[in-house]
Amino acid sequence: MSRGESAWRGTPQEVPRILCQPGGGKSCGACCGMYNHKRAGEPELRARLEARTVAFHANCDVRDVESLMAFRAEWEDAPEDKLLGELPSCPFLGMLDDGETNRVGCMVHPLQNDGVDGRDCGVYDRDTCEGYLCAAHSVMSRDEKWLVLVGSRDSYVYGLAVTDVRYVRELLALAARRNGAMPTGAALGREGVREAAEAYFELKREWPWRAEDGVFGQVVPGEGLDTPRRPGPSEQVSVEPDEYEPLLRCLGTRVEDVAQLEDARAFVAARVDAFARAVAS
Ligand code: SF4
Ligand code: SF4
């Protein structure tokens, strides 16, 4: 998921109804299990997706169910390799467009295969794959969806941001607290604001204090399908939380002492302040 220029430049009115494949060289594969791996950093994740994409095209014919089932047997992650061992992680998620864009997506989708649908061989079935829409679709406002679309540089960050409503909402709420008013659609449309939002969403890629299992943000992968709430970083070092606590939890933060917590707070505060200033300018 190389860091190309963010290419989605639509207006809030052009936010697509379905967020999975919005165009602009990015897409989301979160509900297919993209991040459900103990090694969920971007380089490792990208390498896994690329390797299985090459293997898929070398060995599979979507009309040949046996070839798909053999591929699944070989490439589906073992429970011990996943963060949530019982949560399916589909091996048919790969890189689209011959790897020339940053789009991830379903390699057995009929749109990728001249109308032939291989999704019944995946970890769900075609009806589930076709019908599922995550909470972002119903919960996020149009401006929130738009902010994620223009502010996510590539598929790695996009999938983490679009599935974290709280992280998006907190940015707007903190900017409103600083400026005395919610950012308007007109203010959000300025180039400087987009750049500041991008810097904020980039924290999802390279958060220095992300716990080993922190890619799921606010929740901790537990036994089975349990996802208990992640202890906030202030709780981890027994101090009072401040206004950045929700953001730090969304980033899956793990700190060892108060000094680390203060560094983490200052780091995220700088991105939030830059966004608020851009909105107000
Ligand atoms: S997590 Fe949401 S946006 Fe991402 S692929 Fe699934 S339904 Fe689409
Ligand atoms: S078969 Fe379903 S779960 Fe698997 S990659 Fe395709 S859409 Fe995702």
Classify residue 93 by its DSSP letter: E
Please tell me the predicted confidence (pLDDT) of residue 125: 94
Verify whether ligand 1 is closer than 6 Å to residue 136 (CB atom). Answer: yes
Verify whether ligand 2 is closer than 6 Å to residue 122 (CB atom). Answer: yes
Ligand nearest to the CA of 49: 2
Please tell me the predicted confidence (pLDDT) of residue 271: 98
pLDDT over 80 (residue 222)? no
Q: Which atom of ligand 1 is nearest to the CA of 162?
A: 3
Instruction: Please say whether the beta carbons of 233 and 211 come within 8 A.
Output: no
Question: What is the rounded distance in angstroms from the CA atom of residue 273 to the CA atom of residue 256?
Answer: 25
Please count the residues of the chain. Answer: 281
Question: What is the rounded distance in angstroms from the CA atom of residue 149 to the CA atom of residue 8?
Answer: 6
Verify whether ligand 1 is closer than 6 Å to residue 104 (CB atom). Answer: no
Of all residues in the chain, the percent with pLDDT exceeding 70 is 98
**pTM, entire model:** 0.94
Ligand 1 geometric centre to CA of 164 (Å): 11
- Which tens digit of pLDDT belongs to each residue from 143-191? 999 999 999 999 999 999 999 999 999 999 999 999 999 988 888 888 8
- Which tens digit of pLDDT belongs to each residue from 230-262? 899 999 999 999 999 999 999 999 999 999 999
